[in-house]
Amino acid sequence: MIETTDFITDSKEQIHQIRMSRAVDGKPVYWVAAYLVDGLLVDTGCSHTAIELGDHLAGRDLRLVVNTHYHEDHVGGNHELMTRFAVDILAHRDALPLIGKRNVLYPYQEFVWGYPVPTQVKSLPVALETPGHTFHVIETPGHSPDHICLVELQTGWCFTGDLFAREHPKFIRPEENIRDIMGSMERILALPCPELILFTSVGKILPQGRKALTDCINYLKRLTDRVKAMTDTGLSVDAMVTHLFGGETPFRDLTGGQFSSGHLVSSIRETLCGGC
Q: Given this model, what pLDDT does residue 10 score?
A: 81
What pLDDT digit, counting tens, does each position of 45-104 carry? 999 999 999 999 999 999 999 999 999 999 999 999 999 999 999 999 999 999 999 999
CA dist 196 and 264 (Å) reads 26
DSSP calls for 56-118 = HHTTS---EEE-SSS-HHHHTTHHHHHHHH--EEEE-GGGHHHHTS-----HHHHHHT-PPPP
CA dist 180 and 209 (Å) reads 19
Contact at 8 Å (CB) between 148 and 99?
no
pLDDT value at 271 more than 90: no
What pLDDT digit, counting tens, does each position of 134-185 carry? 999 999 999 999 999 999 999 999 999 999 999 999 999 999 999 999 999 9
Q: How far is CA 116 from CA 23, 45, 125, 154, 196, in A?
A: 17, 10, 24, 34, 32
CA dist 123 and 201 (Å) reads 21
Q: Given this model, what pLDDT does residue 182 score?
A: 97
- Structural domains of the chain, ranges and CATH numbers in brackets: 2-167+183-219 (3.60.15.10)
CA dist 69 and 141 (Å) reads 10
Share of the chain above pLDDT 90, in %: 95
pLDDT value at 264 more than 90: yes
Q: Given this model, what pLDDT does residue 275 score?
A: 47
pTM beyond cutoff 0.85: yes
Rounded to the nearest integer, the mean pLDDT of the chain is 96
CA dist 12 and 14 (Å) reads 7
